[in-house]
Amino acid sequence: NNPMKDEAKEMFLDFFAVPSNDERRRLNDGVYTSYEWGPEGQKIQAILLDVRYFHSEFKPTDEPGAPLKEKYIPDNDPKKRFLSQKQWKLLEQSLARPANVRLVISSIQVMADGHGFECWRMIPHERTKLYNLLQPTLAKTRTIILSGDRHVGGFYKHETEDLYEVTASSWTHTIPYGKFDDCSDAQECDEIDPRRMDDFVRVNHFGVIHLDWDNREMFVGFKRLETV
């Protein structure tokens, strides 16, 4: 419901020097797109979702600050949406294209279940729809979800599918232990989430991906900001 979202969209496209004839200049439901690189056998696909322009309002919490309910609570209203029908269609078409490595990029977390802030958990049927679209492709394509906007870094693994998510943030304002609560270590500070694979990363960082096509290996991780 941001009244300035069209202006924000144009500023986003201008900042990234998107050409005036690019399709995203004409979209009326966001700035989503997809890219592909590499020859056959080494094909990389990046699908950039726009999960904010079109999404429905989240349901406000009934217990501000409570664990899992800090700001919002899940909403099962079937009319609520993250993506427009046009964006869902483009996603389906993109997933139908062959790729060896697929990066699905969401500005907010997809798998996380341990907090009550902005994330796909807040509109459960939309997250289920996303999983259902991804599932048939996972056997042939290594798929990683990339997300951010938590001011901590984390790795997540789906409980039944060969699907991972990497949340990298922040470049400048990562939340240290004890910033908002009287805690001093991961056991006390980190939210409980069965899908997260390890402790949060609480130093300024960025995500990295290394592909070794000769050995068919892929490394996904974080680097400290000062290593730049």
Backbone angles phi, psi at 129, to 5 degrees: -60, -40
Q: How far apart are CA 188 and CA 177, in angstroms?
A: 9
> What pLDDT sits at residue 14?
95
Tens digit of pLDDT for each residue in 38-58? 999 999 999 999 999 999 999
pLDDT band at 61 (very low <50, low <70, confident <90, very high): very high
What is the pTM assigned to this prediction? Answer: 0.94
**Residues 6 or more apart whose Cβ sits within 8 Å of residue 203:** 174, 224, 225
User: Which contacts (CB < 8 Å, 24+ apart) does range 203-207 have?
Assistant: 203/174, 204/170, 204/171, 204/172, 204/173, 204/174, 205/153, 205/168, 205/170, 205/171, 205/174, 206/168, 206/171, 207/146, 207/153, 207/166, 207/168
Q: How far apart are CA 167 and CA 154, in angstroms?
A: 5
Tens digit of pLDDT for each residue in 126-160? 999 999 999 999 999 999 999 999 999 999 999 99
Q: Is the pLDDT of residue 219 over 80?
A: yes
